[in-house]
Structure 1
């Protein structure tokens, strides 16, 4: 069974009553139970439900643009009035987009519930705050939730930790969050993890910034950036410089959500697997979670990083998908019980 860690009896009881999946035993796919196998296979083995997005560009205060992909769900029979239809903001991982299979599954599950999901890939909490207020302003009467996966979850928790209860969001969920960026980086630099994950993700990051190379040449040495062999080297040469941090240690300290968890002011459920090489179990802030009545950690023994595959042939939904669906439905339909 997963370990359920909460800072208060009421949230624990609420989850057991309305989100029972968090107390069910999770059985990983028997031929793919190991952490790295779950992590590597999930993008290839899970289906990609067809989703038609509507894109919106919104302007930021500094003159930049943010791209939002909307799935309007106008065929919803449960919530026919778009102004009160529950809205879910989905934040993908480090190099993810709205076309990731785990995001498409969340969109599909939100559609089944009759909600309006939209996805967004953000760089810092200021951009995220802009998006949250923009989406809320369009449908201020609609229940509004957010879910973040991997780095998307880190951004979401950092935003919630900074803003406390003064957010338009009624609840949030995170999946496979890296709690301590130093510990994550150290784990991913172990030889096998570097070979399987770190180097590939570094090349993805390099590719994404190289497309817009001309925009960055005045601030960073792009040739040096393109020679990075790990995420840490990329962050030292590019990310920390672009966001104005004095050192990479300053950036990694600021990016780690573990020290902000105590200030989260709305109900948040966080699913992690203790065998996740991207988020080592020793860095999961269990004691901090016990001190905040708004936080629930759900910790499984297996699942890897955004894996959580189950069943003999795990094409369809995963344990993570089931947690997402039950939790958002519980908050929309029964969230008043927590207030």
Structure 2
């Protein structure tokens, strides 16, 4: 049974007049039968904890109610995930780098896009600011980050990218990297950015693990944050479900092993600093993310077991404590964040939270159009949401 027939999300759009399979011209709005399987399309499921937030999104961020048409030759989740980095363009962005010190003697690399040429917000002190959090091994150079910067530039906003310790070419000054559960570095960055531009509205957007980190921060701080709103894209909600999915043979071959080697490469770059406290031989023998986290991440941050770390790092059970407007975008065919683990029912219980669930899109994929070089569905959601918050956010901030 096709995925959407099982979940019954929204209105399906079957073949209608003029959409015959025999048509010589096929666009991304057609439903195709590939390898004897029908690809059914549906509008995203919008789940909001309050009618007020739901109406706000429908009015100012209408893309969340539109049917998402995945690229017809790249509709499957794993294909979207794999091909996005190679297909999408990398807009040119000139960053200004800043290194800030941490209380434990470490340093964090921030990449700023100041947007001094902003016509809409010429006053630097009040220019809306977006803090971007990349994924597990990502930095400010990732294509999805560059597209977020590009969308923000068009709207006149300033952006700053939070690169996790040791990922952006800077040295580790202490034997500590990062994890999804520990929000100390993120807290320091948010307060630093806010102190620099205290009169500018501040929003945070996290992608993949960056989204998990942001969710854990929001669950910890509630309303006590300088952020006026937040958005997360393809976050993992339950790490136990994520690693189980990623350890399936095909997913391990396509994603898990590669990401594990990327994490090990990062450790190797900082070997002299990290070998003081860790048995790096064991770390380098890891074949899965779970094994890497067991030998390295959970040990670094003082967790007795890998299970303790995964439970603490999984943000699903902290959603009830989020105290500012939060939009979440997930795809049901995301192997990194399985659809069954998305906390839809919990979202209904918090008036500050809305989740948009698409049937297709993969992990940070959301490709659309025949040749998806530029804007993705995720980019359009991001652009409309941040604009809605900065221009009309007062309508919901007091929820």
Output the TM-score relative to the length of structure 1: 0.99
Q: Distance in 1 between matches of 2:324 and 2:310?
A: 25
Residues 44-78 of structure 1, C-alpha deviation per residue, up to 9 Å, x if partnerless? 00000000100001111111111100001000000
Structure-to-structure mapping, 1:253-264, within 5 angstroms: 253-264=311-322
SS at the partner of 2:114?
coil
8 Å contact kept, 1:144–1:168: yes
Q: Which residue of 2 aligns with 1:100?
A: 142
Q: Which residue of 1 aligns with 2:247?
A: 189
How many residues get paired?
A: 339
SS at the partner of 1:202?
helix
Question: Which among 60, 63, 72 is matched to residue 30 of structure 1?
Answer: 72
Q: Distance in 2 between matches of 1:216 and 1:56?
A: 24
Residues 293-314 of structure 1, C-alpha deviation per residue, up to 9 Å, x if partnerless? 0000000000000000000000
Q: Which residue of 2 aligns with 1:131?
A: 189
Q: Which residue of 2 aligns with 1:311?
A: 369
Is 1:51–2:109 an aligned residue pair?
no
SS at the partner of 2:111?
strand
Question: Which among 266, 284, 288 is matched to residue 324 of structure 2?
Answer: 266
Question: Which among 234, 239, 257 is matched to residue 199 of structure 1?
Answer: 257
Q: Which residue of 1 aligns with 2:159?
A: 117
Q: Displacement, 1:252?
A: 0.4
Question: Which among 119, 126, 137 is matched to residue 84 of structure 1?
Answer: 126
Determine which structure has the larger helix proportion and give its number: 1
Q: Which residue of 2 aligns with 1:176?
A: 234
SS at the partner of 1:120?
strand
Rg bigger for which structure?
A: 2
Q: Displacement, 1:218?
A: 2.7
Residues 293-338 of structure 1, C-alpha deviation per residue, up to 9 Å, x if partnerless? 0000000000000000000000001000000000000000000111
Is 1:9–2:55 an aligned residue pair?
no
Is 1:295–2:353 an aligned residue pair?
yes
8 Å contact kept, 1:121–1:152: no
Of structures 1 and 2, the one with the larger relative CO (CA 8 A, separation 6+) is 1
Q: Displacement, 1:220?
A: 1.4
- Structure 1: gaps (5+ residues): none
Output the TM-score relative to the length of structure 2: 0.84
8 Å contact kept, 1:219–1:241: no
SS at the partner of 2:126?
coil
SS at the partner of 2:357?
strand
Provide the alpha-carbon RMSD of the alignment. 0.6
- Structure 2: gaps (5+ residues): 1-42, 165-177
Q: Displacement, 1:214?
A: 1.4
